[in-house]
């Protein structure tokens, strides 16, 4: 698929990942890329979705919009996270089908995998258990969209694909401590401890869980490669193939930020899923995607961006 001649809509295009995807599409020469804003198109409302498709008549839809957060936000808002993510996706996919959209790309989440999935996570293991409890509502809402895309392909011949990205990070991430994920939260906590000359910071859990991270620019590259070259019903992991414990990650971030104090692990708080690391072979085999940014380089760039922008008027929580 040559995207340059297509009418493209990117839901969530002003968010963290979405902003990088839009930049990549426009940098490729795509001249007709539309980013709906929440104020104009509330995707939980069917009339707003219908108006979006009638106004834009997209050939390709990237559905990235989501209501997301870290462990604390997931634990505090399971009902909201389930409803808003499910209803947005279900209604949008149905509208894309009715309007004859040429291709629909739906972003899922690593949280959809069962809590005790064998490492590395293979796409075939997606249904072999219940997700980790603190983010199960979000993960299951997203997983229902995979069911929908596969059912619509089977019954209607709809060309929809489903991608499962791991935890993303990079410049312009959300650094709001109430809603951010682990890397931006660690960076901000360490930086503020340095500013306030504190000798200790407190982190949730015991530091033993592992996570896999994908640099946001690589994620945008993988999504574009998938829409150009992949047309099958099976979900595809997007990751880097690396695995690091939260404890080791905290040490790396502290060193980069310049925090020399101690870390207190609050074991009364949840760890989240014990391990996360995906098998990335399907993405490489099907559409030639392999992450290019090393974790060390990506982390350095993220820390540098935060330290350069935290005292400006630029918002650090991308919406």
The catalytic residue positions are: 138
Compute CA distances 3 → 60, 162, 165, 318, whole Å. Answer: 8, 18, 21, 26
H or E segment to which residue 264 belongs: strand 262-266
Q: Strand 33-34 to strand 60-63: parallel, antiparallel, or no bridges (unpaired)? A: unpaired
Q: Which of 292, 203, 218, 214 is nearest to 248 (CA)?
A: 203
Confirm if 167 and 110 have CB atoms less than 8 A apart: yes
Three-state helix/strand/coil letters over 55-110: HHCCCEEEECCCCCCCHHHHHHCHHHHHHHHHHHHHHHHHHHHHCCCCEEEEECCH
Rounded distance between C-alpha atoms, residue 107 and residue 165, angstroms: 7
């Amino acid at each position: 698929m040559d995207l340059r001649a297509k009418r493209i809509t990117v839901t969530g295009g002003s968010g963290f990942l979405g902003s990088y995807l839009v930049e990549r599409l426009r940098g490729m020469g795509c001249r007709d890329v539309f980013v709906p804003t929440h104020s104009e198109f509330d995707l939980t409302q069917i009339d707003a979705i219908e108006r979006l498709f009638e106004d834009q008549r997209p050939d390709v839809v990237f559905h990235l919009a989501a209501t997301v957060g870290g462990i604390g936000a997931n634990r505090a808002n399971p009902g909201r996270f389930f409803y808003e993510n499910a209803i947005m996706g279900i209604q949008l996919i149905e509208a894309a089908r009715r309007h004859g959209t040429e291709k629909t790309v739906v972003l899922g989440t690593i949280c959809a995998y069962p809590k005790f999935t064998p490492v590395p996570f293979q796409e075939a293991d997606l249904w072999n258990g219940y997700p980790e409890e603190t983010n199960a509502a979000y993960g299951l809402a997203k997983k229902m969209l995979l069911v929908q895309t596969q059912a619509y392909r089977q019954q209607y011949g709809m060309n929809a694909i489903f991608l499962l990205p791991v935890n993303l990070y990079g410049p312009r991430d959300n650094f709001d401590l109430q809603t951010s994920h682990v890397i931006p939260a660690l960076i901000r906590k360490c930086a503020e401890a340095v500013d306030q000359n504190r000798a200790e910071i407190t982190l949730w859990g015991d530091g033993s869980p592992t996570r896999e991270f994908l640099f946001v620019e690589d994620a945008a590259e993988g999504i574009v490669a998938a829409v150009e070259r992949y047309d099958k019903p099976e979900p595809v992991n997007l990751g880097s193939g690396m695995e690091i414990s939260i404890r080791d990650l905290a040490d790396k971030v502290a060193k980069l930020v310049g925090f020399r104090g101690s870390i207190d692990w609050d074991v009364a708080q949840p760890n989240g899923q014990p391990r996360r690391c995906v098998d990335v072979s399907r993405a490489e085999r099907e559409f030639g995607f392999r992450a290019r940014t090393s974790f060390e380089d990506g982390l350095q760039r993220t820390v540098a961006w935060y330290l350069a922008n935290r005292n400006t008027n630029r918002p650090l929580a991308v919406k």
